Amino acid sequence: MLHLESTYSSLPAILYRPAKVLPVSAPRFVAVNQNLAKEIGLKPDWLLRVETLSLLSGSMESSAIAMAYAGHQFGHFVPSLGDGRAYLLGEIVGPDGVRRDLHLKGAGRTAYSRGGDGRATLKAMLREYIVSEAMAGLRIPTTRSLAVVATGEDVPRERLEPGAVLTRVARSHVRVGTFQYLAARGEDAAMAALIDYEVARNFPGAPEGPQRFLWFLTQVITRQAKLIAQWMCVGFIHGVMNTDNMSVCGETIDYGPCAFMDAFHPQKVFSSIDEYGRYAWDKQPTIALWNLTRLAEALLALFDVDRSVAIAQAEAELRKFLPAFETAFEAGMMRKFGQAAAQDGDGEFIAATLMAMTDGQADFTNFFVAISEKKNLRSFFNTEEVCAAWLRKWQAHVPAPDFALMNSVNPKFIARNHRVEQALEAAREGDLSLVEKLVYILAQPFAAHEGATDYANPPLADEVVHATFCGT
């Protein structure tokens, strides 16, 4: 049987509670990620074993723990959240020396469920499986999905839905909200212990002494700036960037009402509950900074005994976020246009291009595929004149585009919302073939998959998905 460690449980007990095993009636695998299993050092037959099915359905006795955290949800602080429908099974160390969590989502009630049933729907768990694997294929830091197990039990939501448990793999499940939880309780010693734990595990090169706490904040800021830039360069909208959904190690986590844009619009929102556009595509950098400011507030007591000094130190670090984001975003976008090194005027060129794409309702992904493959661009702009004017700007700003570079960074395939929904509805009826085909294509989004044109096409008018749901 798999040997799981549990170093997180060596931290102060305020950070977690034991999780009870809640067996399900008829577990069966509906998705297994053999590529990920190999990457993290699991034997090829491990996902085929009966005891593995029992473990990953939450039906086997274990020393699992539910993790505590708080969070700002749509700007409103909730001091006690935690793993309400999930728990940490334990950790494994892969062949690459990286320690990773195995985390069950949808495994039942915990001490933090707050009246919820602790379960998850098959549709929501397969959605996370598909989109997280799409992100991995795009080479964007992300939690991964090892398996989805159907429970054989229905879950009441707007209608009865088949239930499922997802096995999530992550370098860490520590969130901004984890530190907020401790700060709200005045647990400075526990907070220092948590930082030391996270630094030892995921942030090599930390200085000795008290300065390591401010250094930790700086590292988190740097990673988040790069991550948000990567999201935006592929048209990804997380949908619910609450502080409890921001992993401090810099991985994308908690795929709920997320989506990739088809027709480009900077204020695009998909989440069914984001009525005011708080988490729109173009708001993601400012929301990330807002979240990081909440992290800095939580850590202030560790920076300096003089609060005014601590605030000044935190503010100095936070001011680095937007310049770091802008540098990463502009560099990422210019690579999509075939330019490897930054030059004056990049920002203005990108802004003008995005404005023209908005006016023309250009498909975000296919526009960049078209310029990479030297296709006719007329359909992406309002008029022939606008198209010709943009081409002149591109040729003037990037006179010798690197097409090999462009093809390496401009994906031909993304997890298009209508294809994801079609696959999920088919899975709900017992047909998993569309999920399997979609995941296969998205694992290699830069490749030219023969016969997969439909997966690259934007939706028809009656296929457009206007809102997505978290499934809780």
Which residues have a catalytic role annotated? 244
How many Å apart are CA 231 and CA 282, to the nearest integer? 11
- Report yes or no: 268 and 256 within 8 Å, Cβ to Cβ: no
Own/partner long-range contacts of 326-330 (Cβ < 8 Å, ≥24 apart): 328/225, 328/226, 328/229, 328/230, 329/228, 329/229, 329/232, 329/233, 329/285
- Report yes or no: 130 and 442 within 8 Å, Cβ to Cβ: yes
Q: How far is CA 366 from CA 132, 262, 406, 465, in A?
A: 21, 9, 13, 18
Neighbours of 14 (CB within 10 A): 13
- Report yes or no: 464 and 445 within 8 Å, Cβ to Cβ: no
How many Å apart are CA 246 and CA 298, to the nearest integer? 14
Cβ neighbourhood burial of 159 (10 Å; 0-12, 13-18, 19+)? exposed
The residue type at 109 = R
* CB neighbour burial string for 398-425, b if at least 16 within 10 angstroms, e if fewer: beebeeebbbebbbbbbbbbbbbbbbbe
Q: How far is CA 159 from CA 71, 115, 126, 334, in A?
A: 29, 19, 17, 46
- Report yes or no: 143 and 125 within 8 Å, Cβ to Cβ: no
How many Å apart are CA 390 and CA 381, to the nearest integer? 9
Cβ neighbourhood burial of 94 (10 Å; 0-12, 13-18, 19+)? middle
- CA 310 and chain centroid, separation: 31
Q: Report the run of H or E that residue 330 belongs to, with start and end.
A: helix 321-336
- Report yes or no: 103 and 89 within 8 Å, Cβ to Cβ: yes
How many Å apart are CA 242 and CA 454, to the nearest integer? 34
Tokens of 362: 């250009």
Neighbours of 16 (CB within 10 A): 24
Tokens of 34: 């053999």
Tokens of 425: 């509805």
